[in-house]
A and B are shown apart, each in its own frame.
Chain A
Amino acid sequence: MRVMAQMAMVMNLDKCIGCHTCSVTCKQAWTNRSGVEYVWFNNVETRPGQGYPRRYEDQETWKGGWTLNRRGRLALKGGGRFKKLFSIFSNPKLPAIQDYYEPWTYDYETLTNAPLQEHTPVARPKSLLTGEDMKISWSANWDDDLGGSPDHGDKDVLLKGIADKVKFEFEQTFMFYLPRICEHCLNPSCAASCPSGAIYKRTEDGIVLVDQDKCRGWRMCVSGCPYKKVYFNHRTGKAEKCTFCFPRIEVGIPTVCSETCVGRLRYIGLMLYDADRVLAAATTPDEHGLYEAQRDVFLDPNDPHVVAEAERAGIPRDWIEAAQRSPVHALINKYRVALPLHPEYRTMPMVWYIPPLSPVVDVVRDTGYDAEDRGNLFAAIEALRIPIDYLAQLFTAGDPGPVDTVLRRLAAMRSYMRDINLGRDTDESIPDAVGMTGEQLYDMYRLLALAKYDERYVIPPAHAEQAHSLEELATDCSLDYEGGPGMGGSGPFGESSGGATPIAVENFHMLVDRQTSDTLVDPGDKELRVNLLNWDGKGRPAGLFPPRHDTPAVPGGGDPAGEVEPKP
């Protein structure tokens, strides 16, 4: 047994309202730089829908993840080492920018600079790649809330088997939101695809990161990741991906997406797992067995034998305690209501999801029946095969069994808690029917519905003796890095050269540059861009407001020679 700790996340899809706050705050924090305009480390997709990038789940096209070869051994679906090296000059499976979307901004300046004219001036969309006018035809959430689904709803990869049964008419459809970040897999195929060995998994917390100094821009990771959560920065020529906000996690605070989630639907905690069993689990022959196989890889942090092994593996005591209190462990292995996203990719993903019961509840409520009655809900779960089959395509490689079980548990929690809330006697046959105790149902309710901050985030910080050099603590001078205080300057080979600037410093300078720039779009120089997404209301981006007049208006009468403010 080789115990390793993994920082993991669970998202409760029932509570996601699709507000995209996680996406926006993540973008502000990590991908507001040039070269990654099109990149969303966190994105929220409406399902059924194509996702971002479009149809990323179609692994027959993209060849991401792992597969079993003819001898039953685990192999990269995109081809082995030799094939990778032979196709290195032109990656055959790289999504084009059109598969994501062409990033754009608007020439807001026209709104204030336009001369007096009959028609209201408009801000035209300008491509951030070329600076030319462009026609916006897609984005990261173009099909949000099933928008345009009569036109392209059937392009959802998961609908291949059940497309004829799913109706995209308003009365008959169902939908839910799926927020996605990097899965920080136990068996990451992006890392395995990287020819340079730049992508690594941190031994302490299992976070998968790209070493920006070792990445050479071969782009094999982008193809290798079946979730398409590694992105190519087209200005620096390096791969970038979700970092699980490691500078924050290291000091014990949750990721930006979790912290800002208004639905409080994200849970962060540690999982202990046996690294020696990962390969065997990923090689499980039957795709339907992958969910159980991955659950078996996780260790019980309360087992004294596991604790002893963990201590022998050098995992600090407070980390083991955090693993025992981990909400992620509770949801995955204790209540068993969390499921992995696309286990059939065999990467052993570590961001799990509680499937939404709400499509079922909505249907029951709309028919006029009591939507919190156990009998009605169980019957509806039985009857509503299409949402269940669809969820099974997402979470269990198409096996409806586990999804069914989870939804029954969620339904049981609703009925059981209603009795408590109404002051009635609890009905112990409800937990019995789903193989749980009343106390467990109550605890699950507490974790899922109340979701207290310190219960949903149990994040042990990195250790005090290392604290002075962690990113988010400013006990070192934040400008004290090689080449600094660099003041945002570039190396002699353009903006991508020189040492990597600390993120905090880079963001600060970018904001200042944006606020003081006067050119709309110039891909040649990242410092001359106005992007209202990043404008925090402080400072005045030149061109946003008309120039001030030299002589201020004198109140009450005033100067006859003075200019008169034009009235709108």
Chain B
Amino acid sequence: MTGTLLFVVFPYVCLAIFIGGHVWRYRYDKFGWTTRSSQLYERRLLRIGSPLFHFGILLVALGHIGGLLVPESWTEAVGVSEHAYHVVAVGVGTLAGICTLAGAAILIYRRRTVGPVFSATTVNDKIMYVLLIATIILGLGTTVLGNLTDDPHNYRESVSPWFRSIFYFQPDPDLMTNAPIGFRLHAISAFVLFAFWPFSRLVHVFSAPLGYLTRPYIVYRSRDAHLGARPTRRGWERVP
């Protein structure tokens, strides 16, 4: 029962908030959709911390996509043994996790100690930091501690199938209830983070400017499409 609640109902609720929240926020609040950079206030610490954190977490995200979405049978089909996969995943994952955590530590230290940055920090930011750091620490802790034992848990037989089962709408909570406590806590904390995501500054993840690589350098726009600071009222649109 608890399993169903935690690993079926809760993920779906969180994902619904995640998707619906983003749609709503984008429609309602394009103006607030920004990184809210604080580089203007301080750049020495940011110069080290921010790339460390961001590149770290991009690597972590790639690792999660590989570990959660690619079934074990596929990697075995191309001849990668479970052991080889595990060594690489744990090695790279731990490194990336430590980079991320170190970067985050620098950034949080900066946020607390640099006056202007601290006064620009909102409650929303603080909640986001708690959720994000908790998720990272739970994930990194589970990986590191789990591998200190002789028989590390193979999450690709429990967590990954459960995660995929959510997306083809046949969720199997039993897979998860049998996983070690670390994985369960990490998953729950991650879903809480997903639910909070659209309402925080984390939305800037979805504005990664990949279009910059293909668009022409200079953008021309006609003022006719959008006169003044407000959208044209219905029925008053300009006729071409």
Contact = CB atoms under 8 A, between A and B. Distances in A.
The judgment on whether A and B are partners is yes
Interface of A: 76, 81-82, 84-85, 88-92, 94, 96-97, 127, 129-132, 187-188, 191-192, 194-197, 199-205, 211-219, 232, 234-238, 246-247, 250, 462, 466, 468-471, 476, 480-482, 491-494, 496-503, 523-524
Nearest to A207: B223
B219 interface: yes
A502 B230 contact: yes
A234 B217 CA distance: 26
A219 B43 CA distance: 13
Interface stretch (B30-38, B72-80, B138-146): B30-38
Given A191-B219, A493-B29, A496-B34, A82 B213 contact: yes
A131 B115 CA distance: 9
Contact of A216 (B122, B204, B230, B236): B204
A27 B204 CA distance: 30
Contacts of B37: 217-219, 232, 237
Contact of B223 (A88, A131, A204, A234): A204
Contacts of A466: 224, 227, 238
A17 B40 CA distance: 32
Contacts of B230: 469, 480-482, 502
Nearest to A132: B115
A188 B218 CA distance: 7
Contacts of A191: 217-219
A496 B32 CA distance: 5
| Most-contacted residue by chain A among B40, B54, B231 (CB, 10 A) | B40
Nearest to B213: A81
Q: Is the interface of A mostly helix, strand, loop or mixed?
A: loop
Contacts of A204: 222-224
Interface residues of B, number: 56
B120 A493 contact: no
Contact of B222 (A96, A202, A217, A500): A202
Contacts of B236: 468-469
Given A129-B119, A202-B221, 14 more contacts: A191-B217, A192-B218, A194-B212, A195-B212, A197-B212, A200-B220, A201-B220, A216-B33, A216-B34, A216-B209, A218-B35, A237-B36, A493-B32, A497-B29
Contacts of B222: 202-204
B83 interface: no
Nearest to B124: A493
B46 interface: yes
A471 B228 contact: yes
Contact of A497 (B31, B54, B212, B218): B31
Contacts of A96: 40-43
A493 B236 CA distance: 31
Interface of B: 28-43, 46-47, 50-51, 53-55, 115-116, 118-120, 122, 124, 199, 204, 207, 209-213, 215, 217-224, 227-233, 236, 238
Contact of A481 (B32, B42, B47, B229): B229
A232 B41 CA distance: 11
Contact of B31 (A188, A197, A201, A212): A212
B238 A213 contact: no
B212 A500 contact: no
A218 B28 CA distance: 21
Q: Classify the interface of chain B: helix, strand, loop or mixed.
A: loop
Q: Which 9 A-B pairs have the closest CB atoms?
A: A497-B32, A195-B209, A192-B217, A237-B34, A237-B36, A213-B30, A481-B230, A129-B116, A130-B115
Contacts of A129: 41, 115-116, 119
Contacts of A500: 31, 229
Contacts of A84: 212
B221 A234 contact: no
A523 B118 CA distance: 11
Contacts of B39: 90-91, 94, 219
A127 B211 CA distance: 39
Contact of B46 (A90, A200, A213, A247): A90
B89 to A, nearest CB: 25
Contact of A214 (B30, B43, B116, B212): B30
B43 A90 contact: yes
A503 B223 contact: no
Contacts of B119: 129-131, 523-524
A329 B136 CA distance: 61
A197 B217 CA distance: 8
A213 B213 contact: no
B232 A469 contact: yes
Contacts of B227: 466, 469-470
Given A130-B119, A202-B222, A466-B227, A496 B40 contact: no
B209 A85 contact: yes
27 contacts: A90-B39, A96-B40, A96-B43, A97-B41, A129-B41, A130-B118, A191-B219, A197-B209, A197-B219, A201-B220, A202-B221, A202-B223, A203-B222, A213-B31, A217-B36, A234-B41, A238-B31, A250-B223, A466-B227, A471-B229, A481-B229, A491-B29, A492-B199, A493-B29, A494-B122, A499-B30, A500-B229
Contact of B29 (A88, A462, A498): A498
Nearest to B226: A211
B219 A498 contact: no
Contacts of B211: 196-197
Contacts of B115: 127, 129-130, 132
Contacts of B209: 85, 88, 195-197, 216, 218
A214 B231 CA distance: 14
A466 B50 CA distance: 46
Contact of A89 (B34, B42, B55): B55
Nearest to B26: A213
Nearest to A4: B220
Nearest to A205: B223
B219 A200 contact: yes
A187 B217 CA distance: 9
A130 B114 CA distance: 9
B231 A482 contact: yes
A203 B51 contact: no
A238 B37 CA distance: 9
Contacts of B210: 85
B212 A85 contact: yes
A502 B228 contact: yes
A246 B221 CA distance: 14
